[in-house]
Chains A and B, each alone.
Chain A
């Protein structure tokens, strides 16, 4: 399992995140200040780093910028305060790979960290085949078993994203960001309606379900064979 470095000054938040990620099988180390985190980041080999925006000693974005300048490309997720309009842009400019505003659902953080740990996904692959499902991103066609699926471009993208992370939880926000490429928190039912429509197409002939709902969080793609 991957080693994750958490740089977060609030002990309460850190404790909950540590327990949650450890419960999911990750090895997590905690650093409470900017300089401490920067030292730990340099000394260890990490699968991913979670860094809080505001830290004592050195700002989280500063820590990240220093690491990136030194050529460290470890995937990093920036945590920031609630309600900031342009914090995400700053986080990404500083070298962050993902961004999450506080307060967040633990499931959301875990799903995003797991997505970062999976990187790099070979997104050049255009023919995806998982179980009985097969899609061709170039021709825009899909097939379940021998049955042709009439998929809209957006549905094809949704499906591709899910198929590339079989068995993993993909949150609604992650799906939305990936497929629509906007940063915004849509009402959860909007995404659910899209997934429902996609699911009906996949299971039109009574085939076993491929996409499962994860209560309150998102979806998982489970291969059927």
Chain B
């Protein structure tokens, strides 16, 4: 039962039942009030007319009072003609009712009446007027009829409420049962998911109602979680794999030197090589950690920055290397570029990674160009090379962690450079994309939104 009370549907049903009862009560009260008032007014009007009729014709007062009391099949007409001394001259009232004003209006009073030769106390409605001779005429009617209306109304209310309550309760229970039946399958599926089976999905009906929409949304969420988990797993595998290679080499090298190196120089050489491998490994670990930190969206160092200045410094850094390789490195910055909101070190790093990538794949005699242009509300940073380009199938993958294209496999690198570019772009609400260049190479576009708050 407490379980049942926790069910939302049951609680709703109970609420609705209570509300119906309240409505019924209000309605019955209104009907009773209206009916009783109508009956009372009707009766009062009859009594007023009758008592005035008696007074209008004092000669036949006795006859009229007797007629009033006599034309009464149900014995609820009363009347009385009392002399100036208070003695009853006609009618069936025992005595002049106390507290009854003699103004011809109808009042509810208590009186002693004679019905079928019995005397009894009763609540009556009565109107009284004095006659010219000093006597008083009273025309009355008992109040049973009006009382009966109240009793009937209350009984009707009682009889009506019980089924209303029962029906609401029953409806609520049925609704709750139905809801619980639909949820039971969902709960079972969720339990499976919570036990670790991320491939399970919630059953989705074809009604398209709230339940179905919710289940469909939860399923989409599970898809995303499963996808992310897969990504985490593959990244973990890639990290482990990429760590194992240099560590294996290092181990073998150390082991061999321990037994075979003879001179201090040979030991130094081993140690230097070992340090280089360790640095390479650490660089990868650092990159993975930085990717994680950037995905948390830390923007402590964000400030308005001038991408033109960043691009100039990066091009300056790479220029001698490009020259050594006989690659022409050019920079074109559009005039009057607005500032962007960002981390200048990270923007420098992103551009450096793109330049490093471009120079790596551009053959001797080729060219790499960096352009900064304004496109609507964005500042676009473009790095274009004359390298071999990228097959369309690889374009979507190169920003994934540890992804290395077929061509890149022969070069140095850990497959994280472009992932860092993508992470830096995301941190800056920028978009990064790769397109085939007119020259046959690659064109990378980084579009930063223009800073709005200075």
Contacts and interface: CB of A to CB of B under 8 A. Distances in A.
B267 to A, nearest CB: 15
Interface in B255-296: 272, 275-276, 282-283, 285-290, 292-294
A189 B321 contact: yes
Interface residues of B, number: 34
A150 interface: no
Given A183-B345, A184-B348, A189-B321, A90 B300 contact: yes
For the side of the interface on A, what is the size category? 20 to 34
B289 A186 contact: no
B285 A83 contact: yes
Contacts of A187: 356
Interface stretch (B18-26, B170-178, B310-318): B310-318
Contacts of B290: 83-85
A103 to B, nearest CB: 6
Given A180-B316, A184-B349, A190 B321 contact: yes
B344 interface: yes
A194 B320 contact: yes
A69 interface: no
Given A82-B286, A82-B289, A186 B317 contact: yes
A138 interface: no
A89 B300 contact: yes
Contacts of B324: 193
B298 interface: yes
B352 interface: yes
- The SS class assigned to the B binding surface is helix
Contact of B317 (A84, A90, A103, A190): A190
A124 interface: no
Interface in A81-104: 82-86, 89-90, 101, 103
Interface in B289-348: 289-290, 292-294, 298-301, 310, 313, 316-318, 320-321, 324, 343-346, 348
B284 to A, nearest CB: 11
A146 interface: no
29 contacts: A82-B286, A83-B285, A83-B287, A83-B289, A83-B290, A83-B292, A84-B289, A84-B290, A85-B293, A85-B294, A85-B298, A86-B300, A86-B301, A89-B300, A90-B300, A103-B282, A154-B316, A180-B316, A180-B317, A181-B313, A184-B349, A187-B356, A189-B321, A190-B318, A190-B321, A193-B324, A194-B320, A216-B275, A216-B276
Interface of A: 82-86, 89-90, 101, 103, 154, 176, 180-187, 189-190, 193-194, 196-197, 215-216
Interface of B: 272, 275-276, 282-283, 285-290, 292-294, 298-301, 310, 313, 316-318, 320-321, 324, 343-346, 348-349, 352, 356
